[in-house]
Structure 1
Amino acid sequence: MAFSFDESCSRVREALADAGRGLVEREAMVEVVTLCAVAGEHLLVIGPPGTAKSEAVRRTARALGGSYFEYLLGRFTEPSEVFGPVDLRKLREGLVETETAGMLPEAEVAFLDEVFLGSTAILNTLLGVLNERVFRRGHTRLACPLRVCVGASNALPEDEALAAFADRFLARIFVEPVPDPRLEELLAGGAALALEGETRTASLEALDVLARAAREADLTRVRPHLAQALRLLRGAGLALSDRRMVKTQRLVAAAAVLAGRRAPDGGDLWPLVYAVPTQAGQALAREVLRDVLARSENPALAAAALEASAGPLARAQRLIHAARGVLAARPGDAEGEALAAWRLKLEGVVREVDAGFAPEALPEDLRALREEVRAALP
C-alpha cells in the first residue's frame, strides 16, 4: 500500500505516541530513535543500567515495524551470535558463507546493548553494516535493510580505537534515572506497561516515504543558519568533525519532514545538539545556541526538541501535548477520587504554563489551550 506524505506523517506520529506512553523521562529517546531512522543515521544511548534504554528501543522498533534484532554484547560474544553461523554445507564445498536469517544483517531496526564490549572482529564487521549497509564476511556479501542501529553503553569509551567506532553513531542521547518528582508516574507507568496490549505500528512503508522526503528536502534556506550555529559551536571550543557537520543536515531534514514540512527552517536546527558527542558538550551547546534554538518546535518530536533546545516554543508544544492528554482522560463519574485527581492534574498544567511564560509572551495556541483548561475546571 502506498502512503502519501501527509498520511505517513500521521501514521508515524500516532505510532510514536503509543510507543512513548508510560515511558517516563524516555519520550525524547523514543523520538530521537525515530528521527535517526528517518535520517538514516545511528544513535548512541549513554546511561546507567536499569534506566529503560532497551525498553524504549523495543517499543520504538515495534512502532516503526519491520524486523528487529537485539543483543547484549560481552567480551566473549562470538561474531556468529550477532551475524549468524557459518553455513556448514557451503563450508564443505570450500566456501565460507554465513546464514544470516533472523540475525543483524537482515534487521531493519537493531539494538546492541553494551556495544563497546564487542570484540574487534564484531566491531570491524559492524563498521561495514553501519557505514555502507553492507555485510561482508568470508564469501558473503549482503546488502542490509538496516534503517537505524541503536547502541547503548554505561559510558563513552576512553580508548581511541573505540572512540573512532563510536563516531559512526551520529546522534547521542544521555539518560539519567527518573527524578524524584516523577516517581509516582514511573511506578504507574511501569505497572501499565505490563498490562498493555498491541500498540499501533507506523509500517516501514510510511517510514520510507518520510526518509525519501528527508533525502530530497531543500536545505537552501536553512543552510546559512546551520553554518552560523556551527561557527558558534567552534567559537566555544565544540568543533565537530567535517563528516559530523555534513551529516547533521540529515537530522535537520528528518526533523522537518516529521513535523510535516518538506523544507527545513530555523525551527528545525535543534537536532544539532544531539550531534555533539559528549554530555558536557551538549549542555554547553544549549547555552551557546540559546538564541538560535529559541524558535525550536516540533509537534511530532516535542520531547526531543524540548530536551535539545529548552526553547519556549518547544516547551509550549510539550505543555499542549500534556494538556490534551489530561483533557481526553476525564473520568466518567461526576464526583469521587478519580475526578478530584483529574482536576489536580489540570490545575498543575495551568500552574506550569503560568510559571514558564509571562502573559505577554504566551504563544497563541498555548493561550487558547489554557483558556480551554480553565473552562474545564469547576
Structure 2
Amino acid sequence: MDAVTDLAAAREAVRRAVAASSAGLVGRRALVELVALSAIAGEHALVLGPPGTAKSEAVRRIAQSLGGNYFEYLLGRFTEPSEVFGPVSLRRLKEGFVETETAGMLPEADVAFLDEVFLGSTAILNTLLGLLNERRFRRGHTAVACPLRVCVGASNQLPDHEHLAAFADRFLVRVFVEPVGDPELEELLEAAWSHGQAPRAPEASLADLDALAAAARAADLAAVRPLLAHALRRVRGAGVELTDRRAARVQRLVAAAALLAGRGRPDERDLWPLVFAIPTEAGQRIARDALRDLLAPSENTSLPAAAEEGSLGPLARAARLAAQAERLLDGPRDDDGAGAFRLKLEAIAREIDAGFSAEATPPELARARERIVEQLSRLTDDDAGAAAPR
C-alpha cells in the first residue's frame, strides 16, 4: 500500500470516526469535527458553553472513536495535582527522589478532556502549561515525554483573571456552544429517548492520526499563505485582537483541514479554520462578517459542519446538506418507521430549495436532491399501493 493510499484510508477512518461520534448528538457535529481537526493539527481546543450542552459527551465519543488512551477529569478548587498527573512514588521518595507514578493519568494520555479547566489550582495549571506547550511532563525528578495529541478544555465561560490569559491562549481552537435551538427540539427529544450510546470499537487509530498529522506538517502552504495573511489583516482591521502566536499557528489548522478534504496543497477553500482561532465569541462573529467574501468558497467533505459554521458559506452548506442526504439515503434506517424517514427527507429538500436556486445548486447537491425526490416518490407509491382496496 503506497503513501497516497495510506492517507486516503486514514482520512476515511477519521471521517467514519466523526460520523459515528456525532450520531444522535443533535447540533454537536461541528464540535466533534473540530476536536478531530485539532488532534491532526497538534493543537488544543477549548469548548465554552452553559452546562448541559453535551460538551463532555461529544468529546468522550470522538476520543473513543479515535482510539488510544483517554483521560478525563473534572477540575475544582481543591483538586490535587496527584489526581491529574499521578501520585508521588513512596518507594522512590524513601530513596530521596520525588518521582510521579503517571500510569493511567494525564501524562500518558493520547486524548484528554479537562472539564472546568480554569478552576484548577496554580500548581496544576503551571504544570499543564508546560505539558500542553512541549508535550513533556515535569514534576520533581520526573521528566517524561507525553503522547498527547489533543487536550480539550471546557468551561462555562472565558476567565476574567489576567493570570489565566497565558494558559487560555494555549488552546488555539475555540468552540462556543449553545443549547439546541427550537427547530431541533423534536430531534433532540427523539435522540435522547431512543439513541443510547453503547461502547464501540474505535473507527480510527493513532496510526491514522499520526500519518495525517505528518502529512499536514509537510504540506506546501506557499499558495495559501498570501490569502491567509490578507484575511488576518482584515480581521485585525475589523478590531479583532489576535496574537502573533495564534496567527502563526492557524497555518496548522489550515493544513490539516485541507488534508482531510483530500487536498495536498491548501487553497482558498481551507481558510475557514481561522475563525475558530479567534478567542472570543464576539470576535468570531465580527470575523465571519469581515471575511464573508473570502470564506465563500469554503468547503470540506470530511468536516462539513465545521466548515459551514466557520464560514457561513454556500459551498460549505451545500456539502453539509449533500453529506446529510447521503447518510440518510445510504445509511441504516432508524426504527421510527417510514413516516419519520419521509419527514427527514422532506426537511433536507426544503432546506436545499430555500437556500439554493435551481441554477445555483452545486452538482453534488443537485444529485442528492434528485435522489431525495426519487425516494419520496417511491414512498408515495408504496403508500398508495398499501391503501388500495384488495
Which category describes the TM-score, using the shorter chain as reference length?
A: over 0.9
Q: Retained in 2: the 8 A contact 1:14–1:200?
A: no
Displacement of 1:275 in angstroms is 0.3
Displacement of 1:166 in angstroms is 0.2
Separation in structure 1 between the aligned mates of residue 238 and residue 371 of structure 2, nearest angstrom: 43
User: 2:181: which partner in 1?
Assistant: 179
Separation in structure 2 between the aligned mates of residue 282 and residue 188 of structure 1, nearest angstrom: 31
Matched letter for residue 328 of structure 1: D
1:201–1:332 Cα change, 3 Å: closer
User: 1:339: which partner in 2?
Assistant: 338
Displacement of 1:344 in angstroms is 2.4
Matched letter for residue 267 of structure 2: D
User: 1:261: which partner in 2?
Assistant: 263
Displacement of 1:184 in angstroms is 1.6
User: 2:198: which partner in 1?
Assistant: 196
Matched letter for residue 246 of structure 1: A
Q: Which runs of 5+ in 1 are unaligned?
A: none
Counterparts of 1:123-272 in structure 2 under 5 Å?
A: 123-194=125-196, 196-272=198-274
Displacement of 1:230 in angstroms is 0.3
Q: 295, 311, 318: which one pairs with 1:309?
A: 311
What SS is found at the alignment partner of 2:100? Answer: coil
Separation in structure 1 between the aligned mates of residue 31 and residue 305 of structure 2, nearest angstrom: 9
Matched letter for residue 227 of structure 1: A
Separation in structure 2 between the aligned mates of residue 44 and residue 148 of structure 1, nearest angstrom: 11
Displacement of 1:255 in angstroms is 0.3
Displacement of 1:326 in angstroms is 2.2
Displacement of 1:145 in angstroms is 0.3
Q: Retained in 2: the 8 A contact 1:330–1:339?
A: no
Offset from partner CA, 1:156-187 (integer Å, 9 cap, x none): 00100112210010010000011111112112
Offset from partner CA, 1:284-306 (integer Å, 9 cap, x none): 11100000100110011001111
Displacement of 1:238 in angstroms is 1.1
Does residue 1:94 correspond to 2:96, yes or no?
yes
User: 1:328: which partner in 2?
Assistant: 330
Separation in structure 2 between the aligned mates of residue 157 and residue 65 of structure 1, nearest angstrom: 31
Separation in structure 1 between the aligned mates of residue 195 and residue 133 of structure 2, nearest angstrom: 35
Q: Retained in 2: the 8 A contact 1:75–1:118?
A: yes
Matched letter for residue 162 of structure 1: L
Matched letter for residue 150 of structure 2: V
Q: Retained in 1: the 8 A contact 2:270–2:298?
A: yes
Q: Retained in 1: the 8 A contact 2:77–2:120?
A: yes
Q: Retained in 2: the 8 A contact 1:15–1:199?
A: no
Displacement of 1:261 in angstroms is 1.6
Matched letter for residue 239 of structure 2: G
Separation in structure 1 between the aligned mates of residue 313 and residue 119 of structure 2, nearest angstrom: 37
User: 1:358: which partner in 2?
Assistant: 357
Q: 102, 105, 116: which one pairs with 1:103?
A: 105
User: 1:376: which partner in 2?
Assistant: 375
Q: Retained in 2: the 8 A contact 1:18–1:199?
A: no
Separation in structure 2 between the aligned mates of residue 120 and residue 324 of structure 1, nearest angstrom: 49
Q: Retained in 2: the 8 A contact 1:331–1:339?
A: no
User: 2:320: which partner in 1?
Assistant: 318
What SS is found at the alignment partner of 2:337? Answer: helix
User: 1:122: which partner in 2?
Assistant: 124
Identical aligned residues as a percent: 65
Q: Retained in 2: the 8 A contact 1:107–1:146?
A: yes
1:123–1:102 Cα change, 3 Å: same
Separation in structure 1 between the aligned mates of residue 129 and residue 192 of structure 2, nearest angstrom: 35
Q: Give the alignment's TM-score, normalised by structure 2.
A: 0.93
Counterparts of 1:27-106 in structure 2 under 5 Å?
A: 27-106=29-108
1:189–1:199 Cα change, 3 Å: farther
Matched letter for residue 308 of structure 1: G
Runs of 4+ in 1 over 4 A off after TM superposition: 329-333
Separation in structure 2 between the aligned mates of residue 187 and residue 340 of structure 1, nearest angstrom: 17
Q: Retained in 2: the 8 A contact 1:211–1:254?
A: yes
What SS is found at the alignment partner of 1:237? Answer: coil
User: 2:383: which partner in 1?
Assistant: none
User: 2:386: which partner in 1?
Assistant: none
What SS is found at the alignment partner of 2:8? Answer: helix
Q: Retained in 1: the 8 A contact 2:65–2:200?
A: no
Displacement of 1:365 in angstroms is 1.1
Separation in structure 2 between the aligned mates of residue 195 and residue 128 of structure 1, nearest angstrom: 35
Separation in structure 2 between the aligned mates of residue 353 and residue 172 of structure 1, nearest angstrom: 29
Matched letter for residue 318 of structure 1: R
Separation in structure 2 between the aligned mates of residue 343 and residue 199 of structure 1, nearest angstrom: 31
Q: Retained in 1: the 8 A contact 2:13–2:208?
A: yes
Displacement of 1:262 in angstroms is 1.5
Displacement of 1:341 in angstroms is 2.6
Separation in structure 2 between the aligned mates of residue 332 and residue 299 of structure 1, nearest angstrom: 24
Displacement of 1:195 in angstroms is 5.1
Displacement of 1:331 in angstroms is 5.8
Separation in structure 1 between the aligned mates of residue 207 and residue 356 of structure 2, nearest angstrom: 40
Displacement of 1:376 in angstroms is 1.7
Separation in structure 2 between the aligned mates of residue 341 and residue 177 of structure 1, nearest angstrom: 24
Q: Provide the aligned C-alpha RMSD in A.
A: 1.7
Q: Give the alignment's TM-score, normalised by structure 1.
A: 0.96
1:217–1:332 Cα change, 3 Å: closer
Moved more, 353-362 or 287-296: 353-362
Q: Retained in 1: the 8 A contact 2:67–2:202?
A: no
Separation in structure 2 between the aligned mates of residue 61 and residue 244 of structure 1, nearest angstrom: 25
Matched letter for residue 21 of structure 1: A
